[in-house]
């Protein structure tokens, strides 16, 4: 694949073609190169055939008019007017055949270019940082890529298959006019084409701004629609269907206005083009008519000039269409090219080696990190997770707990300090090998809208069916899956919404088991679950973490009692550290957090018991009333 960066900043069709050329002339595809060569040959053949057609028309006219002053250099059998008419139409059919064969040959070349650029954009999106994706809107991003892909196809097809042939045809027409009728005809035609092109460019540039407004409103409407549908339940919870519909309609109203202006401006553009070419054609035909009257041209010449101009009007009109399409295509891919120009925030060093995990010891050394310069998140954090041990990280919201996991996965690079695995700085190894060595069970498990088997196998795509089932059994979700009508082929729905929170967590655990990483991160994996489900999930997590270096980021302190060490973060610094029992004896921040959570748990338990007692009392009173009535 070509590595040259495509840029829309130049705004030049020529520069765009230069940038796209490596995709249309791929170095590793001799078959596509051959298609380009043959398509070029057919392009020239089609235009040579096209300009030959009007000659047969001219000769047929002269033959019918009985004008023999300029006998055509043709075989005798073609001097018959009917045969000349037949020959004229045969030439047109042959020219059409050349064009269609050319388009068919080039189709694969164009689609290959589209595919390669779309693939490159998709890969680039996954290479960009988490910061970029957190700041972007998914709906708008998908729309930009969709329009950009179509825009690339437009540019490839119209520049190669239409602009070059049109230029060639104009050159041939000008040459024929200059040789046969003199430069004054060429001058009139050239001025007409220049004014026509100038008007088309100016009008199309004006329409580009309207197109941008339409694209912006389309992106905005699509983003709102996707956001609303992804948050379907939230919309229902608050009864805001009308508000969502009104937000969407406001965006579509902007789109309606811009789209109306697009079609109105197109009408004026087409009308202006027609007037300009009509005036130029009138001048040329009047010049020819005067020469026919003077006897310096034949009626066949008059018909020939008319046919050549009418023939030229088709690609000339198409030049306007081509220019509009190319400019609109450039507008459509402008944002896509901007995406390609976004630099990767986190990159592998030149010559980065693969991470080699032996024991699996994790170490943070005086780590300083901030998402923004004026807001420090971690301020000199240092700790060690011994191989095969479990270290829990707790603390108030905003203390920097989840940032620890993001830095270990190297979603961001730290400002100073070091993050090491078995003594290797993670900035010195490849990101692929780093992330292959770490497993994650997050708080909010998001599943792909596919089967349960697909989501479990996501941990190791090449895993056998037996391995998938074993992972599900270890995650304590196997029996549940077996009871489903479609078993492992059950679709989980958008973001896994067809499964409960506990079921989604078990799927996440199963795919982490299948991945079998030496290092494991549990990022508040049970905080969103009820107490009963939490206990079941915790048992599965204990099984997964056994023998692995494990970092537990927790909100519920009851899940970290058995950790080998507990680190308490506050304001981006380590406030306390030790075992559960040791931290309670210190009566510090951890102890106060433990007391608050215990009181809240006891209050919930008392409320549950009271509710059950009330329900039992109602039942007893009902039964007593029924007995007394009997």
pLDDT band at 420 (very low <50, low <70, confident <90, very high): very high
**Exposure of 575 in the CB half-sphere (CA atoms within 13 A):** 21
320/272 Cα distance (integer angstroms)? 11
Contact between residue 365 and residue 541 where contact means Cβ atoms under 8 Å apart: no
Looking at domain 363-437+519-588, its CATH architecture is 3-Layer(aba) Sandwich (3.40)
Contact between residue 388 and residue 360 where contact means Cβ atoms under 8 Å apart: yes
Structure tokens at 553: 């980021």
Say yes or no to pLDDT of 566 above 90: yes
What pTM was estimated for this model as a whole?
Answer: 0.63
Which residues of 319-454 form beta strands (DSSP E)?
362-372, 375-385, 390-394, 416-421, 424-425, 438-441
Domain ranges across the chain: 13-341, 363-437+519-588, 444-516
381/400 Cα distance (integer angstroms)? 10
Judged by phi (left if over 0) then psi (alpha if -120 to 50, else beta), residue 604 lies in: alpha
347/338 Cα distance (integer angstroms)? 19
Convert the pLDDT of each residue in 586-625 to its tens digit. 988 989 988 888 887 777 667 767 666 665 565 555 655 6
Residue 271 three-state SS = helix
Distances (CA, A) of 321 to 64, 166, 210, 325, 412: 38, 12, 16, 6, 46
- 240 DSSP 8-state letter: -
CB atoms closer than 10 angstroms to residue 546: 11
373/462 Cα distance (integer angstroms)? 42
The confidence score (pLDDT) of residue 259 equals: 83
Structure tokens at 388: 């095969």
Region 247-267 average pLDDT: 82
Q: Do domains 13-341 and 363-437+519-588 have the same CATH topology?
A: no
Top-ranked range on mean pLDDT: pick from 14-18, 44-48, 109-113, 188-192 = 188-192
The confidence score (pLDDT) of residue 354 equals: 92
The confidence score (pLDDT) of residue 615 equals: 59
Class of domain 444-516 (CATH, top level)? alpha beta
Convert the pLDDT of each residue in 9-51 to its tens digit. 444 456 656 666 777 778 888 888 888 888 888 878 887 887 7
Contact between residue 126 and residue 136 where contact means Cβ atoms under 8 Å apart: no
Distances (CA, A) of 584 to 91, 334, 570, 588: 96, 59, 17, 7
The continuous run of DSSP H or E covering 521 comes out as strand 519-523
Convert the pLDDT of each residue in 539-551 to its tens digit. 777 777 788 899 9
Contact between residue 399 and residue 572 where contact means Cβ atoms under 8 Å apart: yes
Structure tokens at 247: 């937000």
- 444 DSSP 8-state letter: S
What's CA 273's distance to the chain center, in Å?
37
Say yes or no to pLDDT of 7 above 70: no
Region 196-223 average pLDDT: 78
**Which CATH number does the domain 13-341 belong to among 2.40.10.10, 3.40.50.1000, 1.20.1560.10, 1.10.10.10?**
1.20.1560.10
38/30 Cα distance (integer angstroms)? 12
Please give the residue that has the higher pLDDT: either 504 or 208.
504
The confidence score (pLDDT) of residue 12 equals: 47
Angle, helices 299-341/13-24, rounded to nearest 10 degrees: 80
Contact between residue 553 and residue 401 where contact means Cβ atoms under 8 Å apart: yes
Distances (CA, A) of 197 to 190, 193, 327, 387, 505: 10, 6, 14, 72, 63
Q: Give the list of residues 6+ apart from residue 483 with CB closer than 8 angstroms, or none.
A: none
How does the average pLDDT of the chain come out, rounded?
78
Convert the pLDDT of each residue in 47-101 to its tens digit. 788 777 777 767 777 777 766 554 555 555 455 566 666 766 777 788 788 878 8
The confidence score (pLDDT) of residue 533 equals: 63
Residue 490 three-state SS = coil
The continuous run of DSSP H or E covering 207 comes out as helix 183-230
């Amino acid at each position: 694949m070509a590595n040259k960066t495509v840029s829309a900043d130049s705004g030049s069709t020529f520069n765009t073609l230069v940038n796209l050329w490596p995709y249309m002339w791929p170095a590793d595809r001799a078959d596509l190169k051959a298609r380009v060569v043959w398509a070029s040959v057919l392009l020239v053949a089609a235009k040579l055939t096209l300009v030959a057609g009007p000659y047969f028309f001219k000769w047929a006219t002269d033959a019918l008019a009985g004008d023999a002053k300029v006998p055509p250099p043709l075989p005798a059998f073609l001097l018959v007017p009917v045969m000349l008419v037949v020959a004229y139409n045969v030439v047109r059919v042959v020219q059409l055949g050349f064009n269609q064969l050319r388009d068919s040959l080039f189709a694969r070349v164009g689609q290959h270019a589209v595919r390669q650029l779309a693939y490159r954009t998709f890969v680039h999106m996954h290479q960009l940082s988490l910061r970029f994706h957190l700041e972007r809107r998914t709906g708008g991003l998908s729309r930009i890529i969709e329009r950009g892909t179509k825009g690339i196809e437009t540019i490839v097809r119209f520049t190669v298959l239409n602009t070059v042939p049109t230029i060639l045809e104009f050159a041939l027409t000008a040459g024929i006019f200059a040789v046969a009728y003199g430069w004054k005809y060429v001058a009139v035609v050239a001025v007409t084409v220049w004014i026509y092109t100038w008007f088309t460019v100016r009008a199309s540039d004006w329409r580009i701004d309207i197109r941008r407004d339409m694209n912006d409103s389309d992106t905005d409407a699509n983003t709102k629609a996707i956001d609303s549908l992804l948050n379907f339940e939230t919309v229902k919870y608050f009864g805001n269907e009308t508000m969502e519909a009104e937000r969407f309609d406001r965006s579509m109203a902007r789109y309606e206005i811009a789209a109306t202006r697009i079609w109105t401006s197109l009408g004026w553009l087409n009308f202006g083009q027609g007037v300009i070419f009509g005036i130029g054609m009138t001048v040329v035909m009047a010049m020819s008519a005067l020469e026919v009257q003077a006897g310096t041209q034949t009626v066949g010449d008059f018909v020939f000039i008319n046919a050549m101009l009418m023939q030229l009007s088709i690609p000339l009109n198409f030049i306007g269409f081509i220019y509009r399409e190319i400019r609109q295509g450039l507008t459509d891919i402008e944002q896509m090219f901007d995406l390609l120009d976004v630099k990767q925030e986190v990159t592998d060093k030149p010559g980065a080696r693969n991470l080699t995990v032996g024991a699996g010891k994790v170490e943070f050394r005086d780590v300083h990190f901030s998402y923004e310069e004026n807001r420090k998140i971690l301020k000199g954090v240092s700790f060690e997770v011994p191989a095969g041990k479990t270290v829990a990280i707790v603390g108030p919201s905003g203390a920097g707990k989840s940032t620890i996991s993001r830095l270990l996965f190297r979603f961001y690079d730290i400002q100073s300090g070091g993050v090491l695995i078995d003594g290797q700085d993670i900035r010195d190894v490849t990101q692929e090998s780093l992330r292959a060595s770490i497993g994650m069970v997050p708080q909010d498990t998001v599943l792909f809208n596919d089967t349960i088997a697909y989501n479990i196998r996501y941990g190791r795509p090449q895993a056998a069916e037996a391995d998938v089932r074993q992972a599900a059994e270890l995650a304590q979700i196997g029996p549940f899956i077996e009871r489903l009508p479609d078993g492992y082929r059950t679709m989980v729905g958008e973001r896994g919404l067809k499964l409960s929170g506990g079921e989604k967590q078990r799927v996440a655990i199963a795919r982490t088991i299948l991945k079998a990483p030496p290092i494991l991160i549990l990022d508040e994996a049970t905080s969103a679950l009820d107490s009963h489900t939490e206990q079941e999930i915790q048992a599965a997590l204990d099984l997964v973490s056994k023998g692995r270096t494990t970092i537990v980021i927790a909100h519920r302190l009851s899940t970290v009692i058995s950790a080998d060490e507990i680190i308490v973060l506050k304001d981006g610094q380590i406030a306390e550290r030790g075992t559960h029992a040791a931290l309670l004896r210190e009566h510090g921040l951890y102890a106060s957090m433990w007391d608050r959570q215990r009181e809240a748990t006891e209050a919930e338990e008392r409320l549950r018991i009271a509710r059950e007692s009330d329900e039992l009392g109602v039942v007893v009173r009902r039964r007593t009333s029924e007995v007394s009535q009997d």
